Amino acid sequence: MEIDPFIFRFSIFILSIFIGYYVVWSVTPSLHTPLMSVTNAISSVIIVGAIIAALAGSTEKIFEISNVFGFLAIILAAINIFGGFLVTQRMLQMYKKKKK
Amino acid sequence: MSANLSATFYLLSGILFILALRGLSSPETSRQGNYMGIAGMIIAILVTFLSVGNFGTGFIYVLIFLIIGGSIGAFIAFRIPMTAMPELVAGFHSLVGLAAVFVAVSAFLKPEAFNLGIVGNIKLASLIEMSLGAAIGAITFSGSIIAFLKLRGIMSGAPITFKGQHLLNLILGISILVLIFYLCKIQSNNLFWTIVTISFLLGVLLIIPIGGADMPVVISMLNSYSGWAAAGIGFTLENTALIITGALVGSSGAILSYIMCKGMNRSFFNVILGGWGATEQNSLSKTKEQKPVKNGNADDAAFLMKNASSVIIVPGYGMAVAQAQHALREMVDALKKNGVKVSYAIHPVAGRMPGHMNVLLAEANVPYDEVFELEEINNDFANCDVAYVIGANDVTNPVAKSDPQSPIYGMPVLDVEKSKSVLFVKRSLSPGYAGIDNDLFYRDNTLMLFADAKKMTEEIVKNL
């Protein structure tokens, strides 16, 4: 009997939740705000779906309704990717150790 | 690019995202972690371009839109003041949510582009995944918008409650599930739009009853939702990077919500159901008789601190509102010159989001090894000469330890009252968010400094 590919993806999903659990507990509380902004940025990897949606269909009709939703999603995700990573970077630059 | 090769690269970008979070375990490794996250994102985007393989006019438009969005994001990231970080994060969550909705809509309208079947005959599993993704995305979007408006002060932070609210939310939640069930049977467009609309409505209704100071929980929760929405879409697109990321972000937000709830000794449902302290406690505190307080000025405060050997600073949301972090840093510098040992004590729920105070202190160039969490520093108050409470209130209230009747009883608090003297900067004697009087105001070793946090701190600097 063959295993449905969904089960494989589901396994990845569950194992990732466990990885997330242990990794996030080890994040130092003083970096919880950068944690939120960086998780924000990486969850915008949803842009992958947006790109597929935007480029779907024939090359003549590039602005069909489903493509338009794709393009809109690209803008939103791009704001998040750039905004999220850059603001995280800006915050992390500020964390300094005591000068001895 | 073959499907197997691109899947391998998506796995790689998923691993880089894990390492990005791992880096945050200490400030030294965190910057490197952020670069790994960026690398993971670049890989994911490039692989997608290569596997779609369509480099026609559409590709140019994709780049244009990418650049437009990217410039807006970069502009916001550089311009935003650090005090506005909570509302920025809420705003960003709303965008992830809406992007998830858009991708789901697009997949529903043109399933063949995603190998999900054809219109009217979409694979059952995909249909469930995309409608769940769309519903959670929509809830995340509208909920985050409300959180954004409350944090920004455009909307009042006070809880909005009405009769039958929780019942209504329950009915809406169940109806979403029922509609998804029917959608799987008849695949009608209208049904799909109805699900999205109800989810938008539910997002608004879920967040309006939650008050301003509970925002740390709300933001973390929405963070978690945005992850689950991304994971839902990841299943639809059969994309490993998206599934891994969704799971990471989902559990990250859930853990943060848990930490925040624990910091207030409240259950998650108690926070979500909202309306804390909005009703009975307020009237209680009004009827309380006036008790004497000791009133001081900047001169007294400067004198006390200059002659102390150790000072602990307790910042709270009031410091963020008054933008007092830079003045505070100057004050600490002056104290250090006088040989005073200074450290900072941060309560887990101080401010409006997890880690809010730490970022503001970092912005003011406070070294992170002078900043301590509640468990690390709480025993030190007993040996400290002066505690300087700036903009915090409920998190210092000793009532949480002594009075089982109090609504905040059992909440972990900073043992500020154990220090030899307490300087409490506050504009008035008004109760904090929980609506209860702070016992600390009336203690013999407390000196109240009635002023704006920033002005008072600047005054003290002048007097040092």
CB-count exposure of residue B79 (10 Å: 0-12, 13-18, 19+): exposed
Q: Point out the residue among B54, B77, B259 whose CB comes nearest to the CB of A55.
A: B54
User: What is the rounded distance in angstroms from the CA atom of residue B450 to the CA atom of residue B439?
Assistant: 16
Instruction: Identify the CA nearest to A67 among candidates B8, B56, B242.
Output: B56
Q: Which residue of A has its CA nearest to B356?
A: A33
- B333 flagged as catalytic: no
Whether A61 contacts chain B with CB within 8 A: no
pLDDT in tens, A10-68: 999 999 999 999 999 999 999 999 999 999 999 999 999 999 999 887 666 778 888 89
Note the helical H segments in B396-452: 399-402
Q: Point out the residue among A17, A27, A51 whose CB comes nearest to the CB of B52.
A: A51
**Within 10 A of A17 (CB to CB), how many other CB atoms are there?**
18
- Find residues 39-98 of chain B whose CB sits inside 8 Å of chain A: 40-41, 44-45, 48-49, 52, 54, 56-59, 61-62, 65-74, 76-78, 80, 82, 85, 88-89, 92-93, 95-96, 98
Residue A59: predicted pLDDT: 66
| Helices H / strands E in chain B, number of each | 18, 8
Reported as a pLDDT band with limits 50, 70 and 90, residue B278 is: very low
Tokens read off for A82 = 């750039």
B424 - beta bridge partners? B389, B448
| Comparison of pLDDT for B211 and B454, the residue scoring more | B454
A1 min Cα distance to partner chain B (Å):
20
- Find residues 29-48 of chain A whose CB sits inside 8 Å of chain B: 29-48
Reported as a pLDDT band with limits 50, 70 and 90, residue B284 is: very low
8 Å CB contact of A39 and B34: no
- Ordered DSSP codes for B283-323: HHHHHSPP----B--HHHHHHHHHT-SEEEEEE-HHHHHHT
The residue from B394, B415, B437, B439 that is catalytic is B394
Identity at B123, one-letter amino acid code: K
User: What is the rounded distance in angstroms from the CA atom of residue B43 to the CA atom of residue B461?
Assistant: 51
Residue B434: predicted pLDDT: 67
Q: Point out the residue among B38, B113, B353 whose CB comes nearest to the CB of A33.
A: B353
Whether A8 contacts chain B with CB within 8 A: no
Whether A78 contacts chain B with CB within 8 A: yes
User: What is the rounded distance in angstroms from the CA atom of residue B320 to the CA atom of residue B230?
Assistant: 32
Which are the contacts of B412, defined by CB distance < 8 A and separation ≥ 6? B262, B263, B265, B347, B348, B374, B400
User: What is the rounded distance in angstroms from the CA atom of residue B185 to the CA atom of residue B174?
Assistant: 17
Q: Point out the residue among B18, B59, B243 whose CB comes nearest to the CB of A55.
A: B59
Q: Which residue of A has its CA nearest to B238?
A: A9
Q: Point out the residue among A36, A65, A97 whose CB comes nearest to the CB of B369.
A: A97
3-state secondary structure of B448: strand
8 Å CB contact of B24 and A28: yes
pLDDT in tens, B116-174: 888 888 888 889 999 999 999 999 999 999 999 988 888 887 788 888 888 898 999 99
Q: What is the ipTM of this complex?
A: 0.94
Chain B residues whose beta carbon lies within 8 Å of the beta carbon of residue A41:
37, 41
Task: State chain B's mean pLDDT as an integer.
Answer: 88
Reported as a pLDDT band with limits 50, 70 and 90, residue B279 is: very low
B345 - beta bridge partners? B372
8 Å CB contact of A81 and B41: yes
pTM score of the predicted model = 0.90
State what percent of residues in chain B have pLDDT above 90: 54
Residue B274: predicted pLDDT: 63
User: What is the rounded distance in angstroms from the CA atom of residue B359 to the CA atom of residue B86?
Assistant: 11
User: What is the rounded distance in angstroms from the CA atom of residue B98 to the CA atom of residue B77?
Assistant: 20
Whether B239 contacts chain A with CB within 8 A: yes
Residue B287: predicted pLDDT: 46
Q: Which residue of B has its CA nearest to A21?
A: B251
Residue with tokens 């990841």, as numbered in its chain = B234
Residue B254 pLDDT exceeds 90 = yes
3-state secondary structure of A79: helix
8 Å CB contact of A82 and B242: no
8 Å CB contact of A62 and B61: yes
8 Å CB contact of B103 and A93: no
pLDDT in tens, B167-197: 898 999 999 999 999 998 888 889 999 999 9
pLDDT in tens, B299-347: 888 888 988 999 999 999 889 888 999 999 999 999 999 889 999 999 9
8 Å CB contact of B102 and A89: no
Chain B residues whose beta carbon lies within 8 Å of the beta carbon of residue A32:
256, 259, 353-355, 358
A97 min Cα distance to partner chain B (Å):
5
Which segment of B47-51, B64-68, B409-413 scores lowest on mean pLDDT? B409-413
- Find residues 147-206 of chain B whose CB sits inside 8 Å of chain A: none
Tokens read off for B435 = 């609506």
Tokens read off for B121 = 């005959």
User: What is the rounded distance in angstroms from the CA atom of residue B356 to the CA atom of residue B395?
Assistant: 15
| Comparison of pLDDT for B78 and B117, the residue scoring more | B78
B182 min Cα distance to partner chain A (Å):
22
B38 min Cα distance to partner chain A (Å):
7
8 Å CB contact of B114 and A56: yes
State what percent of residues in chain B have pLDDT above 70: 95
